[in-house]
Amino acid sequence: MQKRLGHRLVQLLEWVFIWTVGPVVLFFSPQAKVFRRWTLGVGGVIATAWWTGFVVWALGLLVALIPNSWLGPDALNEHERYVLERNLSDSVDEDHPTYQHSMRMEKRVAAWAKAQEVHPAALQAAVLLHDSTLDHPRIPAEQRLCIHGNAAAILGIRSIRQLERNWWYTLVVADAVMRHVGPTGYNWEWQDKRIISKQCTGRIPTPVSAVGKALYDLDMMDKVGVNAAVTLAEQKRNDPALKKKPLPDLLRTDKVSVLKEVADHAQTLQTRLGRACGRQVAKHTSVFLKNLSNADMKDITALRAAATRYLEEKPAPTCLDVPRVEQLESQADLDDVNAPSGAQP
C-alpha cells in the first residue's frame, strides 16, 4: 500500500513538474529573450530572473534538510548499481574518458561519504548518473556541456524509480546531479569568466545539499590532477578552434589554457575538506605546468612523458583516496593555490 502510494506521489510530482517548471524553463531559455523583453520589459525580466533563482535556491535548501535516515540502506546492491551504471555505459564505451572519470569517482565514494558524513548510496548513485548524458548521442554536441546536469537528473529519476528506493532518495540524488555542473562565476586571478559561465547562458544552479556538495567536489577534483591536465591539453590540441594556438599557450598562458581551467575548478570547491584537498592537488598540478621545458611542450607525446616523470618524482597527493580532516592546511597556504603568477596573461 505504501509503495503504491509513493509511486502515485512520484507520478503526481512528475506531472506538476512538466506543467509548471517545464514552461518556466522554456520561457527563460536563451531563445525566448525577445519574447521575455516584449512581455515583461527589462525591469520585469530582471525581477523575474531574480525570483526564479531564489526559488531554485530555496528548493535546494529544502532538499538539504532531508536527513540520511530517510534515504534507506547505506549501500547499493548489485542490481541497483547495474541499473544506474547502464545509463552511462549506454552512451559511452568503457574506455571513454567520461566513463573512466565516473569510475574513478566511484572508487572514492566510500571514503568521501564517510569523511563528509553523507549517505553513501545516494552519493554513489549521483556519481554514476552525473555525466550519463554528457556524451549522449541523442543530445546535440553543442548543448551537452550546458544541459547535461538537467538531462542526467531527468534520466536519473526514471532509473531510480526502478530501484527499491523511496522518493526522498530520488529527490536527493536528482537534485545533486542537476546542480553538479561547474565551475561558474568569475576568476579574478585571470580576469575572465570560468569555463561554464563562459560557454553557457542562463542560470546554472549551484549545489546546496551535503550530497550535492560532495558530488561537486569529487567531480571538480578529478579534473585538476596531472593526468587530467594532460588529457585536457590533448582535447584542446584537437579542437579545430584552438588549432593555431601554440601548445605552451594552451598549457599555461592563454585564458583558455589548462592552467586557467585547473584554477577554475579548484576555486569553486564547496566543502572544507574538498577545498583543502583541492589546494594540494591544484598546487601539485600547477607546479608541473609552470616548470615544463620547451622540449616537454613540443607535442602531446612529450607532454605525457613529462607527466610520467613528474609523477614518479613527486607522486600525486593522497587526499583524494584517503580524505582526512587532519589534512586540512592553514589559510596561509591559499597564497600558493591557483595563482598563475608568472604565467598570468
Domain membership of residue 261 (yes or no) is yes
Torsion of CA 267, 102, 17, 206, to 10 degrees: -10
Does the pLDDT value for residue 276 go beyond 70? yes
pLDDT at 205: 86
Q: What is the pLDDT of residue 106?
A: 96
Q: In which band, very low, low, confident or very high, does the pLDDT at 5 lie, cut at 50, 70 and 90?
A: low
Confidence of residue 181 (pLDDT cuts 50, 70, 90): very high
101 domain-assigned: no
309 within a domain of the structure (yes/no): yes
Question: Is the residue at 43 inside a domain?
Answer: no
* Average pLDDT of the chain, as a whole number: 83
State the pTM of this model. Answer: 0.81
Which of the residue ranges 89-98, 281-290, 306-315 would you say has the lowest mean pLDDT?
89-98
Residue 324 is predicted with a pLDDT of 74
C-beta separation of 84 from 75 below 8 A:
no
Determine the Cα–Cα distance for residues 167 and 157; give it in Å rounded to an integer.
Answer: 9
Q: Report CA 42 to chain centroid distance, whole Å.
A: 32
Domain count, the chain: 1
Which of 116, 114, 117 is closest to 273 using CA atoms? 116
What gap in Å lies between CA 264 and CA 278, rounded to an integer?
11
Distance, in Å, from the CA atom of 134 to the CA atom of 145, rounded to the nearest integer, reads 6
pLDDT score at 158 = 85
Average pLDDT over residues 57-73: 85
pLDDT tens readout for residues 246-261: 999 999 999 999 999 9
Tens of pLDDT, residue by residue over 79-116, are 999 999 998 998 889 999 999 999 999 999 999 999 99
Angle, vertex CA 54, rays to CA 50 and CA 58, nearest 5: 175
- The runs of H, that is alpha helices, within 70-140 are 78-89, 97-107, 109-116, 120-129
63 or 126, higher pLDDT: 126
* Residue range(s) defining the domain that contains residue 339: 223-345
- Residue 263 neighbours by CB under 8 Å, 6+ apart: 187, 189, 190, 282, 286, 338, 339, 340
Half-sphere exposure of 188 (CA within 13 A, CB side): 2
Residue 187 covered by a domain: no
**What pLDDT, in 10s, does the model give residues 191-235?**
999 999 999 887 788 899 999 999 999 999 999 999 999 999 999
Residue 130: Cβ within 10 Å count: 29
Residue 339: the pLDDT is: 43
pLDDT of residue 167: 87
What is the percent of the chain with per-residue pLDDT over 90, rounded to a whole number? 57
Provide the pLDDT confidence category of residue 287 given band limits of 50, 70 and 90. Answer: very high
Per-residue confidence at 154, pLDDT binned at 50, 70, 90?
confident
* CA–CA gap between residue 296 and residue 308 (Å, rounded): 11
Is residue 181 in some structural domain? no
Q: What are phi and psi of 192, to 5 degrees?
A: -160, 155
Could you tell me which residue, 87 or 334, shows the higher pLDDT? 87
Looking at the domain assignment, is residue 182 inside a domain? no
159 within some domain: no
Q: Compute CA 159 distance to the chain's CA centroid, rounded to the nearest angstrom.
A: 20
Closest listed residue to residue 254, CA positions, set 191, 302, 307: 191
Residue 178's contacts (CB-CB under 8 Å, 6 or more residues apart) are 149, 150, 152, 153, 205
